[in-house]
Amino acid sequence: MSQKPSFYITTAISYPNGVPHMGHAYEAIATDCIARFKRLDGYDVRFLTGTDEHGIKMLQTAQKAGLTPRELVARNTPRFEAMVEAFDLSNDDFIHTTEERHARSSQAIWNRMAANGDIYKSTYAGWYSVRDEAYYAEDETTLNDQSVRVGPQGTPVEWVEEESYFFRLSAYQDRLLAYYRDNPGFIMPEARRNEVVSFVSGGLQDLSISRTTFDWGIPVPGDDKHIMYVWVDALTNYITALGYPDTDGELFRRFWPADVHVIGKDIIRFHAVYWPAFLWSAGLEAPKRVFGHGFLFNRGEKMSKSVGNVVDPFDLAQTYGVDAIRYFFLREVSFGHDGSYSHEAIVNRMNADLANDLGNLAQRSLSMVAKNLDGVVPQPGPLSPEDEAMLALADGMLEKAREAMENQAVHLYLNAVWAVVAEANRYFAAQAPWALRKTDPARMATVLWVTGEVVRQVAILAQPVMPQSAARLLDLVAVPPDARSFAALGAAGRLPAGQALPPPVGVFPRYVEPEAGA
């Protein structure tokens, strides 16, 4: 039994009716970074991602492709698993909603909600457009000039009544509002919380939670004519992966309620309104936080197939490198806001922050150690005020990083770390160890030691964003594997004098444009 505090974090499950795009990868990268950060900070972390494989869209996409839904799943889901691999995600589990464990879990939560009196059978009635395959509210429809009722798209609608099970969502309005009030950090960022509070305050209607018009889903227990509404199915994945309905199991007891569900801002409502209500109905606790991140835009434009600017995440990783891409999106985009990216922006970031600032700092200091000190970490002499100030800044990174990460402000954590990198370059230039080489070798040694120590700490703190590159950097300063957690930051883990270092090599290459027309 671990004595560490637990931390359960999830991404939304991806809908694999197409191939992964950069938005999927972005969410996964950000969540991975948070998960890695917490692990290094001493938490027992459980990180879940996966795919949401049921629903009418899967069925329709499959039919268009002449496949069964199961065949479509078999074709597309591996691409999402490959993405997880390609972007170095450290997830502990990958759930597919078509797995048997998930059917069992979903039916169990359904039964619990039903036993609690929150599910009842009625008819779902509304204006349905066959062409749009969608229901519309009365006030979304209009009578056209031929007195035919049409939907917002101008397509004819007809009154349809379908038998359906309903969830008594209306009964949870007060409890939800109280929960939002008592847990101001439940919905983040704040702008999203305001929207949800405003929405729930406007009153909640019961929710139709079953369908009879198609069968690609999990059957309703005891009534095979119905399958579960996709969101009951999808949301439940978060507890399926902890072994639900075995609430006495090790995983469930340790990790539920979840600490953070990282999701796109478009599905906030399902997570911040329906999900807590479902859980309460089933006698379970609501998650502690739902964080809605923003969307990514390619040169300011929404990615869309018709515009032809959909970017393949695998291509990006191939072109710039996995770590550079991870760093770019997490540093450049304020987490929770929309972001924009372009070739120029990516190159600029990776060259400026990685190659010029951090990579060059390591290279210029370590190469002096190699050339002038036989590649051995020097013994520092008395520390000057400048040395002390530099070390104090490095030692202060963890606190700032933690503070930022408490609120999933990933970009602020990186800002804090790179501010120290910038200061280290200023320190190095001001101390000019290359000039001290002849005038005061002992002083040069001290400057190089201080700089190496800063590199060590920065590298430890860079691991959540760039696991591979940070590891190589740590190799260069000969930090053993068991001294790479945040516990080794600060005075606790100073670079040991006398330690032999490997020959320095560049870790962050500059991106150079391929020769035009070559």
- The nearest distance, CB 4 to RNA, in angstroms, is 33
Stretch that binds RNA, among 70-78, 96-104, 358-366, 383-391 (CB under 7 A): 358-366
**R_g (Cα) of the chain, nearest Å:** 27
Of 41 and 451, the one with the shorter C-beta distance to RNA is 451
Of 251 and 322, the one with the shorter C-beta distance to RNA is 322
Under DSSP, is residue 178 helix (H, G, I), strand (E, B) or coil? Answer: helix
The 426-445 site mask, x for binding RNA (CB under 7 A), equals x-xxx--xx-----------
* Closest residue by Cα to residue 445 from 371, 360, 361, 507: 371
Q: What is the b/e burial string over 228-267, where b = at least 16 CB atoms within 10 angstroms of the residue's CB? A: bbbbbbbbbbbbbbbbbbebeeebbeebbebbbbbbbbeb
* Structure tokens that stand for 504 in this block: 């320095």
Cα–Cα separations (whole angstroms), residue 172 to 151, 167, 193: 31, 10, 17
Of 12 and 25, the one with the shorter C-beta distance to RNA is 12
Cis status, amide bond into 504, omega within 30 of 0: no
Asked whether the CA dihedral 199, 200, 203, 205 is positive or negative, the reply is positive
- The nearest distance, CB 249 to RNA, in angstroms, is 27
- The nearest distance, CB 510 to RNA, in angstroms, is 4
With CB under 7 A as the contact rule, the residue among 3, 147, 205, 439 that binds RNA is: 205
Q: Scanning the structure block, which residue is given the tokens 């797995």?
A: 99
What element of type H or E holds 448? helix 441-462
With CB under 7 A as the contact rule, the residue among 240, 281, 363, 446 that binds RNA is: 363
- The nearest distance, CB 246 to RNA, in angstroms, is 26
- The nearest distance, CB 7 to RNA, in angstroms, is 26
Residues 230-249 interacting with RNA (rule: CB under 7 A): 230-231, 234
Beta-carbon neighbour count of residue 499 at 10 Å? 15
How many whole angstroms separate alpha carbon 225 and alpha carbon 163? Answer: 10
Phi, psi for residue 216 in degrees, rounded to 5: -90, 85
Stretch that binds RNA, among 36-44, 354-362, 456-464, 487-495 (CB under 7 A): 354-362
Stretch that binds RNA, among 193-201, 320-328, 387-395, 488-496 (CB under 7 A): 193-201
With CB under 7 A as the contact rule, the residue among 65, 82, 191, 442 that binds RNA is: 191
With CB under 7 A as the contact rule, the residue among 64, 337, 389, 442 that binds RNA is: 337
How many whole angstroms separate alpha carbon 407 and alpha carbon 289? Answer: 10
* Structure tokens that stand for 166 in this block: 């309903």
Of 251 and 454, the one with the shorter C-beta distance to RNA is 454
Residues 130-189 interacting with RNA (rule: CB under 7 A): 134-135, 137, 169
With CB under 7 A as the contact rule, the residue among 57, 149, 168, 288 that binds RNA is: 57
DSSP state of 337: B
Question: Dihedral through CA 52, CA 54, CA 57, CA 60, nearest 10?
Answer: 140
Of 146 and 438, the one with the shorter C-beta distance to RNA is 438
Is 468 one of the binding residues for RNA (CB under 7 A)? no
Of 66 and 202, the one with the shorter C-beta distance to RNA is 202
List interacting residues with RNA (CB under 7 A): 15, 52, 55-57, 124, 134-135, 137, 169, 191, 194-195, 198-199, 202-205, 207-208, 229-231, 234, 266-267, 269, 334, 337, 340, 348, 352, 355-357, 359-360, 362-365, 367-368, 371, 422, 425-426, 428-430, 433-434, 506-510
